[in-house]
Structure 1
Amino acid sequence: MKDLFRLLARLPLPVLHAAGVMLGWVAFLASPTYRRRFVANARQAGYGMGAVLGAVGEAGKLVGEAPRLWFGKPVTLLWEGEHLIDQARADGRGIVFLTPHLGCFEATAQGYASRYGRITVLYRPARKAWLRDLVDTARARPNLATAPTTLAGVKQMLKALKGGEAVGLLPDQVPPEGLGAWAPFFGKPAYTMTLSARLAQQTGAAVLLAWGERLAWGRGFRIRLRAWPGELAAEPAAAAAQVNARMEELVRECPRQYLWGYARYKTPAAGAVR
């Protein structure tokens, strides 16, 4: 599988995106479960299919671009709001990046690592051994560290922030039981991680909202940064509600690049370290 990905990584990004669009539509048409969830999630947010139809192909692009991002030459990255990073670093603060399942979230971490330095990204290891090995190899890049959703991973992220480094999380990812709180997401209760707020509160890190906009015709990505408005609530459920509200705002910036097929409202898996 690694050899196949390395071969695909040689293809131009527009070709990979074109193949991804076809893959996205095949998945949408072939899986009734995925299709129903996609439509239901979009409707929950107030969107009809006409407004999010492009998200079908964009979800496929996420898969198609993976070989290039993991094994290929660097892609074009544009920046918007990078002064927020410069300010946090000048103040000697760590940075907590919050990124929804919007656009290309791989590009945001890679962009920071190549331009600014070390960043630690929270991830859930793949269940299948071959996929876990592929992802672990692909993400072993300079200045890019990964932390699993375990107690050891949390300690790793705390250490990074206290050292003035950056960490990245997908706060609209459903955490294991014990690592979240129920909070509204587009008006419906969703189990939401509380780790992001705790990391910021315990370390004094700056919280920045970030997402990687996928540019048309394979021209690369634009990393869009936003400052966190106001203060984070001390109570976990209230902080989770704040995080979800901020994620909603980012999704509404570009609903056609959100992963509407993600099972955002599922029941959390048991077995997490509290």
Structure 2
Amino acid sequence: MSRLAQILLAALARLPLGWLQAIGALLGRITYHTSPQYAARIEENLKKSGVCANYQVYQEYVKKSVAETGKGTLELALAWTRDSADICALIKSCDGWEHVETALAAGQGIIFVTPHLGAYDIAGRYIASRLPFSLTAMYRPPKLAWLEPVMQGGRMRDNVKTAPATPAGVRLVMKALKNGEATIILPDQVPGSGDGVWAPFFGRPAYTMTLLPRLAQMNNVATLLFYGERLPAGQGFAVHISPLPAPFSGDKAQDGMLMNQAIEQLIRRCPTQYLWSYNRYKTPAGASGPHTETPAP
């Protein structure tokens, strides 16, 4: 199954970007109309997010989000099979790279932070290709076991390494940062029980990772937000990089809220490209619910 998936991805990656995205948009719409659970989650998350000014905007955002999610799925074929030169050719602009250069000049380790927004795998590969050292990307093994070697093979290229979201993986990331290297973290993934705090995300309590604030407070580490914006009509992508709006304090609840606010600001820039189908508000097994959690003494 893994080999078949790799062949299929390589074939899709040969298509012009506009064609690939058009097929992805169609698949996204088909999934929306054939999966009631998928459709309901997108609708609920968008409706309750507050990003839609009125019902007409909400309807428009649902349609666009469905298509953009489909595009993002097929774009993995590009991110996981094309070489770095091809990936860089797809990036039409990059603003904020001066923040990376400042960190490099200071010899700092760099934490690149991106939510499930736009073409995050493509943007990550672009950033990695411009760094003079290794980048370690944290990941959570997929539920489908056969998909992991495909994903790993696609991401572990050039100077990219991966680390699982486990204590051993965290130690690898900390070592990389101490050595002045870089990592990528997706901060809107729901952590396991005991690894998060409840913090508001678009006005609703969401179990939020504590790992990123902890890493960001290491000595000589810079934390930079980024996302890859999908340009219209198959034109390519634009990468946007910016510093964290405010430093973390060390208070888990406060830092969780700060992190989610920073993520919200990015998403509001192109809300239809966010992965609204993700079950962001679930309660992990073994974790107390948001209204039953006992504050730490």
| Cα drift, residue 204 of structure 1 | 3.4
TM-score computed with the length of structure 2 as normaliser: 0.88
| Cα drift, residue 184 of structure 1 | 0.4
Query: Match of 1:129, SS?
Result: coil
| Cα drift, residue 230 of structure 1 | 2.5
CA RMSD of aligned residues (A): 1.4
Q: Which residue of 2 aligns with 1:114?
A: 129
Q: Which residue of 1 aligns with 2:292?
A: none
| Cα drift, residue 52 of structure 1 | 4.3
Contact map agreement 1:52 1:255 (CA 8 A) in 2: no
| Cα drift, residue 8 of structure 1 | 1.6
Contact map agreement 1:103 1:214 (CA 8 A) in 2: yes
1:187-266 → structure 2 map (5 Å cutoff): 187-266=203-282
In 2, the alpha carbon distance for the partners of 1:3 and 1:50 equals: 35
In 2, the alpha carbon distance for the partners of 1:96 and 1:72 equals: 24
In 2, the alpha carbon distance for the partners of 1:86 and 1:52 equals: 38
Contact map agreement 2:188 2:280 (CA 8 A) in 1: yes
Contact map agreement 1:102 1:258 (CA 8 A) in 2: yes
| Cα drift, residue 270 of structure 1 | 5.2
In 1, the alpha carbon distance for the partners of 2:219 and 2:17 equals: 39
Q: Which residue of 2 aligns with 1:94?
A: 109
TM-score computed with the length of structure 1 as normaliser: 0.95
Contact map agreement 1:100 1:170 (CA 8 A) in 2: yes
1:47-66 → structure 2 map (5 Å cutoff): 47=52, 48-66=58-76
Q: Percentage identity across aligned positions?
A: 44
Q: Which residue of 2 aligns with 1:30?
A: 34
Contact map agreement 2:78 2:122 (CA 8 A) in 1: no
Q: In terms of Rg, which structure is larger?
A: 2
Which stretch has the larger CA shift, 103-112 or 45-54? 45-54
1:70-219 → structure 2 map (5 Å cutoff): 70-73=80-83, 74-75=86-87, 76-77=90-91, 78-117=93-132, 118-219=134-235
Letter aligned with residue 246 of structure 1: A
Is residue 19 of structure 2 the alignment partner of residue 3 of structure 1?
no
In 1, the alpha carbon distance for the partners of 2:13 and 2:247 equals: 42
| Cα drift, residue 60 of structure 1 | 0.1
| Cα drift, residue 70 of structure 1 | 0.9
Which stretch has the larger CA shift, 21-30 or 2-11? 2-11
Letter aligned with residue 215 of structure 1: L
| Cα drift, residue 72 of structure 1 | 2.3
**Count of matched residue pairs:** 271
In 2, the alpha carbon distance for the partners of 1:222 and 1:18 equals: 19
In 2, the alpha carbon distance for the partners of 1:162 and 1:218 equals: 39
Contact map agreement 2:95 2:241 (CA 8 A) in 1: yes
In 1, the alpha carbon distance for the partners of 2:235 and 2:80 equals: 17
| Cα drift, residue 56 of structure 1 | 0.9
Which stretch has the larger CA shift, 73-82 or 54-63? 73-82
Letter aligned with residue 265 of structure 1: Y
| Cα drift, residue 108 of structure 1 | 2.2
* Structure 2, unaligned runs of 5 or more: 53-57, 288-297
In 2, the alpha carbon distance for the partners of 1:2 and 1:13 equals: 18
In 2, the alpha carbon distance for the partners of 1:111 and 1:126 equals: 23
Letter aligned with residue 167 of structure 1: T
In 2, the alpha carbon distance for the partners of 1:13 and 1:208 equals: 28
User: Measured at CA, do residues 234 and 16 of structure 1 come closer, stay the same or move farther in structure 2, by a change above 3 Å?
Assistant: same
